[in-house]
């Protein structure tokens, strides 16, 4: 009765209560799962603040996971922003304050000599794990270092793996790597539950990561290990080190890229100008931004142009300014998108060119933001961009809402309703001529749950770039805007669980083609997807 994965609560029948020794331990009434979900929804709806709703849902998950997921499934658009972005950001900031019950594993640097024991201490009912989401809490959304509070992200992500991708919740495991924090407020907070220590230096940090990966691979050799919200300086090196050694991907780098490309697919079609013929500007040169641009460049090449020409069509601006080949402060990934300094020599700017300079001098058709610089897409910049193209494509993708480069209503006003918009966080629908128009949210939840379903069903051993591009293409094909130019660029949330099945099939097919999964026909893959996909229903006895 107190096992969250197996309990039915008041839905246990009289016969089941007799059989299981529960008679007298529950009220007499026998409820159905549907009735329980309606009751829980009424309770949820009495809580007006997002964090209170988040706490209620976490408590429900701890008490009855089947009911939790049934409630989420019945109200996906309303509950996703509470379970995940943007509310999960506040939950991470106040993690130590709202902590109630343990969930997942806290892998602490001081316990580095006992990593195998830590992993073996995972709950017995979660011994066979298909998906791990791990963070070190250093770059949570756009909120920076949250230390151990970052655990809210793996918990939230795995909820969506189950809700959308159908991954059995008993086969998921959230992990936070507690390697200290450089957040002084947390270090001085008497309520902080993490290791009260500055973050370990890179030499010790990467050695710890290596020990952790080795332990995971030995304990759970077939698990999908997803890296989440690692700082730019760590995210790319970790991905490159392990991506060819085990089943792993970085959602901030690869998942963000795939969903952005999926939205761009519909936008470019409506704009009447393929991506390979667009000039693309990205504000933000962190791991997520560079990941998006790598996928954009691959898509341009797939559309028939050379990699060199594709690179020449991509302009990246960071906190200093435009990435150019004369800068000495660029990472390897950033340098691959650096424009020749000679290309901007005639612009007449002192110092590095800024976003406004790029938009002024280049025939920009696509403007993307992953900078966490709130309001960076100013009215002047947007109006100039809109003067150069009939259907400007503008994606302020930074999370949370408070860090968005612009709000959709502003972009709509400044472009006279012509902008094709997708955001990183949820926003209210646009209202034009008395008609509400939903705004597409480039939430990675369109991709990563389907990826988890795909690799689990296909029994893949690696996640390849082409598998990610297959996911993006499948998502793009589901864009409502392809049949209705006034519709959002991405599907409605209520439709996403079924679309995830289609994406999973496309990814599984690509995994087979890439030689990282056993040979199976489409029919066999579809059967496997149906077999492993979990749905929130009570088992019958």
Domains of the chain as residue ranges with CATH: 1-74 (1.20.1370.30), 88-246 (3.40.50.10380), 254-443 (3.40.50.720), 446-532 (no CATH)
Task: Round to whole Å and give the CA distance between 16 and 19.
Answer: 5
Task: Round to whole Å and give the CA distance between 144 and 137.
Answer: 8
* Measured CA angle at 395 (ends 390, 396), to 5 deg: 135
Residue 487, token pair as written in the block? 């519709």
Neighbouring-strand partners of residue 431: 436
Task: Round to whole Å and give the CA distance between 42 and 413.
Answer: 37
Looking up tokens 């939790």, which residue turns up?
A: 68
Residue 310, token pair as written in the block? 């594709």
In this prediction, residue 486 carries a pLDDT of 81
Task: Round to whole Å and give the CA distance between 359 and 380.
Answer: 10
Strands 248-250 and 172-178: unpaired
Q: What are the tens digits of pLDDT across the range 168-222? A: 999 999 999 999 999 999 999 999 999 999 999 999 999 999 999 999 999 999 9
Binding residues for a divalent metal cation: 228-229, 252
Task: Round to whole Å and give the CA distance between 262 and 359.
Answer: 24
- Judged by DSSP in three states, 250 sits in strand
Give 88-138 as a 3 state SS string: HHHHHHCHHHHCCCCCCEEEEHHHHHHHHHHHHCCCHHHCCCCEEEEECCC
Reported as a pLDDT band with limits 50, 70 and 90, residue 541 is: low
C-alpha separations of 8 from 103, 328, 427 in Å: 20, 61, 36
pTM for this model (two decimals): 0.92
Binding residues for (S)-malate: 139, 399, 443
Looking up tokens 């890229």, which residue turns up?
A: 257
Q: Which is higher by pLDDT, 126 or 404? A: 404
C-alpha separations of 291 from 232, 309, 365, 473 in Å: 11, 18, 20, 16
Lowest pLDDT segment from 122-131, 351-360, 492-501: 122-131
388 flagged as catalytic: no
Task: Round to whole Å and give the CA distance between 424 and 369.
Answer: 9
Q: What are the tens digits of pLDDT across the range 218-262? A: 999 999 999 999 998 899 999 999 999 999 999 989 999 999 999
In this prediction, residue 426 carries a pLDDT of 84
Give just the sign of the alpha carbon dihedral 77, 80, 85, 88.
Answer: positive
Q: What are the tens digits of pLDDT across the range 444-464? A: 999 999 999 999 999 999 999
In this prediction, residue 399 carries a pLDDT of 82
Q: What are the tens digits of pLDDT across the range 303-332? A: 999 999 999 999 999 999 999 999 999 999
Reported as a pLDDT band with limits 50, 70 and 90, residue 485 is: confident
Task: Round to whole Å and give the CA distance between 495 and 283.
Answer: 31
- Judged by DSSP in three states, 271 sits in helix
Q: What are the tens digits of pLDDT across the range 29-86? A: 999 999 999 999 999 999 999 999 999 999 999 999 999 999 999 999 999 999 998 8
Average predicted confidence (pLDDT) for the chain: 95
**Rg of the chain taking only CA atoms, in angstroms:** 24
Residue 142 reports pLDDT greater than 80:
no
C-alpha separations of 375 from 68, 283, 431 in Å: 36, 12, 21
Q: Which of 8, 69, 84, 446 is catalytic?
A: 84
- DSSP letters, 51-99, are HHHHHHHHHHHHH-HHHHHHHHHHTHHHHHHHHSTTHHHHHHHTHHHH-
Q: What are the tens digits of pLDDT across the range 362-386? A: 999 999 999 999 999 999 999 999 9
99 flagged as catalytic: no
Task: Round to whole Å and give the CA distance between 28 and 25.
Answer: 9
Q: Which of 8, 69, 109, 157 is catalytic?
A: 157
In this prediction, residue 6 carries a pLDDT of 94
């Amino acid at each position: 009765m107190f096992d969250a994965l197996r309990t039915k609560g008041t839905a246990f029948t009289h016969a089941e209560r007799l059989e299981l020794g529960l008679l007298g331990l529950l009220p007499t009434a026998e409820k159905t799962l549907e009735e329980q979900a309606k009751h829980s929804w009424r309770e949820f709806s009495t809580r007006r603040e997002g964090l209170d709703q988040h706490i209620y849902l976490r408590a429900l998950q701890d008490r009855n996971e089947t009911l939790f997921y049934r409630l989420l499934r019945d109200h996906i658009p309303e509950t996703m922003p509470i379970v995940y972005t943007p509310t999960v950001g506040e939950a991470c900031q106040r993690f130590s304050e709202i902590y109630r019950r343990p969930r997942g594993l806290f892998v602490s640097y001081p316990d580095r000599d006992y990593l195998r024991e830590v992993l073996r201490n995972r709950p017995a009912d979660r011994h066979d794990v298909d998906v791990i989401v791990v963070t070190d809490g250093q770059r949570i959304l756009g909120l920076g270092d949250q230390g151990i509070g970052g655990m809210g992200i793996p918990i939230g992500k795995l909820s969506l793996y189950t809700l959308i991708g159908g991954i059995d919740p008993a086969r998921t495991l959230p992990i936070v790597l507690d390697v200290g924090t450089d957040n002084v407020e947390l270090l001085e907070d008497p309520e902080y539950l993490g290791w009260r220590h500055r973050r370990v230096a890179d030499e010790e940090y990467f050695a710890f990561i290596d020990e952790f990966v080795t332990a995971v691979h030995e304990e759970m050799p077939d698990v999908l290990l997803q890296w989440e919200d690692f700082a730019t300086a760590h995210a790319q090196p970790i991905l490159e080190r392990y991506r060819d050694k085990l089943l792993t991907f970085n959602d901030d780098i690869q998942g963000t890229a795939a969903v952005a490309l999926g939205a761009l697919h519909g936008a470019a079609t409506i704009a009447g100008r393929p991506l390979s013929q667009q000039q693309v500007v990205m504000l933000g040169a962190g791991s997520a931004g560079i990941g998006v641009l790598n996928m954009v460049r691959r898509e341009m090449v797939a559309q028939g142009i050379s990699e060199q020409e594709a690179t020449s069509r991509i302009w990246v601006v960071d906190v200093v300014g435009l990435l150019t080949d004369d800068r000495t402060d660029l990472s390897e990934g950033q340098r691959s998108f650096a424009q020749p300094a000679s290309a901007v020599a005639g612009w007449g700017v002192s110092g590095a060119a800024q976003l406004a300079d790029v938009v002024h001098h280049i025939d920009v058709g696509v403007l993307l933001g992953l900078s966490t610089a709130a309001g960076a897409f100013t009215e002047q910049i947007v109006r100039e961009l809109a003067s150069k193209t009939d259907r400007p494509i503008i994606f302020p993708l930074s999370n949370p809402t408070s860090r968005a480069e612009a709000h959709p209503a502003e972009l709509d006003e400044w472009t006279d309703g012509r902008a094709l918009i997708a955001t990183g966080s949820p926003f209210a629908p646009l209202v034009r001529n008395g008609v509400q128009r939903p705004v597409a949210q480039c939430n990675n939840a369109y991709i990563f749950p389907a990826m988890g379903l795909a690799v689990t069903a296909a029994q893949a051993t690696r996640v390849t770039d082409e598998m990610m591009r297959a996911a993006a293409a499948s998502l793009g094909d589901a864009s409502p805007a392809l049949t209705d130019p006034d519709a959002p660029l991405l599907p409605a949330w209520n439709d996403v669980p079924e679309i995830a099945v289609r994406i999973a099939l496309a990814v599984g097919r690509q995994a087979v083609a890439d030689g990282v999964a056993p040979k199976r026909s489409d029919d066999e893959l579809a059967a496997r997807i149906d077999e492993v996909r979990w749905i929130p229903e009570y088992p019958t006895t």
